[in-house]
Amino acid sequence: MTSNHILIIIKTIYAIRQSISKALVAFYQKYVDEQLKKEFKDILVSYDRTLLVADPRRCEPKKFGGRGSRARFQKSYR
């Protein structure tokens, strides 16, 4: 397997664990006591914050004048 395939598998695993933890918190909110939901949520956040909060970093789109989103072609004065 290439490193790209491994990264896709890791991202999928993180998405699955985040959706399961969010579903458990929603279940506790709807069918169980609110106090238990807060305790369960605090336990999850103390273990790993990414279980409930998504990572907002995304790939920045490419722009003109260079190879990537921020990189520019080198300027020559002669």
**C-beta of residue 51 within 8 angstroms of C-beta of residue 21:** yes
- For residue 55, what pLDDT is reported? 82
Cβ neighbours around 51 below 10 Å, total: 19
- For residue 45, what pLDDT is reported? 92
- For residue 73, what pLDDT is reported? 94
Instruction: Read off the pLDDT of residues 50-63 as tens digits, 9 standing for 90 and up.
Output: 899 888 888 899 99
Contacts of 65 (CB under 8 A, 6+ apart): 72, 73
- Tell me the whole-structure pTM to 2 decimals: 0.68
3-state secondary structure of 13: helix
